[in-house]
Structure 1
Amino acid sequence: MADKKVNEYYMRPPVLTKWEGFKQFLWNPETNQFLGRTGASWAKILLFYLIFYAVLVGFFVALVAVFYQTLDMKKPKWELDNGLIGKNPGLGFRPMPPESNVESTLIWYKSSDKGNVHYWQDELRKFVESYHKDNNPHYNNVEQCSMFVSPTPGKVCDVKMTPQKWHPCLPEAGFGYEDEKGGPCIFLKLNKIYNWNPEYYNSTNLPDASVMSEYLRKDILDAETRNEHLMVWVTCEGENPADKENIGPLRYIPQRGFASQYFPFKNQDGYLAPLVAVHFEQPKRGVLINIECKAWAKNIVHDRIDRRGSVHFELMVD
């Protein structure tokens, strides 16, 4: 009798097909197991992970809350030399080429082809729209400033694009792209660095002619006699001798630099970065022109490889 019970205890389980084994894994009616676990086992493991992840989420939220207590939403934690972007601003230009060729810096169009110039005009229209008071939600914080006169503390100066000063670099004039004899307008803006103040050039600190062109030195000295030298000056020129011959005369609108009333940037509500439009009055047609624009202040360092304090683009007008 005992031998019979032993033999029954060690009896091999029935051989199941793959489908039968899978069904038994899903639900085993003999042991009341679902996916290999009983209901009590599933309840315990679900309760464990619920508590585990609740603690993790609570810990993460607490750390984020503590971290945000150390931040000011209006200013960076680390400024100038202590920050990642440093204290040497660069230049940006508009319009930018299409996103389909994101690495390109070529502005190429045919002035007699309205469809060809539409893209560039549309890009500039969208760019200058942000300078219209109706598109600035904090325009009540913007005031009209006199040149070189700082705004009221907490306020910012307007960048007013009047027809008298900005023609032809205006939407109604097509930004010069439809002029079959002249050339286009390219907008320049200085990259914003929190609490950066320019050190302005004057007669006592001008670099020599090997660093700064003689015509810019003369313009700064002339402006100093009128007490109008407090600007981050801008120059644009051809990079190579052939480019310098083909670039033609330039006009800087509304003046040849970024005036002092726009500095420093402190993330004020409604702040508008100052603009300089460079009007290429007669660039040579059908020729690719390499152009380098630089911003000039005593504390701006130029590096052509890293594009510090400058910007490069190409212009070709057919």
Structure 2
Amino acid sequence: MGLEKRTVKIIVIVAVVLLVIGAILGLILGLLLHQRYVELEVWPRSEEYTWEQPLIQFRPSDTGSWHPWYKRMNDFLRAYETTIPEDPPRAPCSTRNRRDDPIRSNNCEIAMRMWGPCTADEFYGYSMGRPCVFLRLNHIHYWVPHPYNVSTSLSIPTEMPENIKQFMMQRPAQTYGDYVWVSCGGEYNSDKENIGPIQYIPAGLPPGFPLSRLHTADKIPYANRNLPDQVPPPLIAVYFENPRREVLINVECRIWTRDIYYDQSSRVGRARFELFVNQ
């Protein structure tokens, strides 16, 4: 009888210990995944940036109101200035306004035209009340994306924006390579009414990130996955042509891949920010 009680006690203790270990491991894995799993970043960001309320607010007629955003954008983009040809191109002049750098090379002019109006020449649209933001992916070293394309028989989501579907048809993956597609829009119905037309820059190129330029887990040795990229990840700019003034607009951007399941309560593969353009 005593032996049975002792056995039961040992079983209970072992079970409790296993549960505690499992909870600790689950917590650690949860923290690691939260930090490492793919994140869609929005730039520029304020010094008080929080994911829950990332507000971009400015008055186009007040230089002191929008110039800090212009400076933050330049500070962010400085890492992308390069003399190495790439597609779409950037150049050593990328963060210098034409007023400060009137003489430019042909490569510089081509790069600035391709990224217009989301350039330093145009103050990234903030002086006109038509702001640009830049998007890029982060924490992708442990991720192997499964892209949507028309080369496979798997279905395309019906809710996917039409412009992405058109690019899939015009630029099939077997010829042009796969993309992690991106779309932005109003987060709620009222935001959809107030956000106005959106352009993805460079215009004419697919709205997204080419897999050929993403340093994902299938391209990096496991031992190197904690090391930073030597080359910053690709960018896409989003240009808001005419957002309604004096209205807070909640903007949501997301990526489209077969392995990322859209969840409005999740941060994975999704970004949001608030836009307020004063009169």
Does TM, scored on the shorter chain, surpass 0.5?
yes
Of 168, 173, 184 in structure 2, the residue corresponding to residue 220 of structure 1 is 168
Query: Equivalents in 2 of 1:229, 1:205: separation in Å?
Result: 17
Of 43, 49, 52 in structure 2, the residue corresponding to residue 94 of structure 1 is 43
Query: Equivalents in 1 of 2:259, 2:50: separation in Å?
Result: 34
Q: Looking at CA atoms only, which structure, 1 or 2, has the larger radius of gyration?
A: 1
TM-score normalized by structure 1?
0.61
Change (3 A) 1:232 1:225: closer
Structure 1 position 291, deviation (Å): 0.8
Query: Equivalents in 1 of 2:269, 2:277: separation in Å?
Result: 26
- Asked if 1:114 corresponds to 2:63, the answer is yes
- Asked if 1:175 corresponds to 2:124, the answer is yes
Change (3 A) 1:246 1:172: same
Percent identity between matched residues is 34
Match of 2:85 in 1: 144
Structure 1 position 167, deviation (Å): 1.0
- For residues 242-299 of structure 1, the C-alpha deviation after alignment (integer angstroms, 9 at most, x for no partner) is 2111111111112311112212344576321111110101111111111100011222
Query: 3-state SS of the aligned residue for 2:156?
Result: coil
Taking the TM superposition and a 5 Å limit, the aligned residue runs for 1:127-138 are 127-133=76-82
Taking the TM superposition and a 5 Å limit, the aligned residue runs for 1:1-318 are 84-85=32-33, 88-99=37-48, 104-133=53-82, 144-145=85-86, 162-180=111-129, 183-194=130-141, 196-203=143-150, 204-209=153-158, 211-224=159-172, 227-228=175-176, 230-254=178-202, 255=205, 256-265=207-216, 266=220, 267=227, 270-318=230-278
Q: Does structure 2 retain, via aligned residues, the 8 Å contact 1:234–1:257? A: yes
Tell me the amino acid that sits aligned with residue 121 of structure 1.
Y
Query: Equivalents in 2 of 1:113, 1:128: separation in Å?
Result: 23
Structure 2: any 5+ residue segments left out of the alignment?
1-28, 95-110, 221-226
Tell me the amino acid that sits aligned with residue 279 of structure 1.
Y
Which structure exhibits the higher relative contact order, with contacts defined as CA atoms closer than 8 Å and separated by 6 or more residues?
2
TM-score normalized by structure 2?
0.68
Structure 1: any 5+ residue segments left out of the alignment?
1-80, 134-138, 148-157
Q: Does structure 2 retain, via aligned residues, the 8 Å contact 1:220–1:229? A: no
Tell me the amino acid that sits aligned with residue 186 of structure 1.
V
Give the alignment's Cα RMSD to 1 decimal: 2.9
Query: Equivalents in 2 of 1:269, 1:310: separation in Å?
Result: 22
Kindly tell me the number of residue pairs found equivalent between the two proteins.
Answer: 217
Q: Does structure 2 retain, via aligned residues, the 8 Å contact 1:258–1:275? A: yes
Query: Equivalents in 2 of 1:201, 1:229: separation in Å?
Result: 11
- For residues 3-34 of structure 1, the C-alpha deviation after alignment (integer angstroms, 9 at most, x for no partner) is xxxxxxxxxxxxxxxxxxxxxxxxxxxxxxxx
Structure 1 position 230, deviation (Å): 1.4
Structure 1 position 228, deviation (Å): 3.5
Q: Does structure 2 retain, via aligned residues, the 8 Å contact 1:290–1:314? A: yes
Q: Does structure 1 retain, via aligned residues, the 8 Å contact 2:90–2:112? A: no
Query: 3-state SS of the aligned residue for 2:175?
Result: coil
Structure 1 position 82, deviation (Å): 11
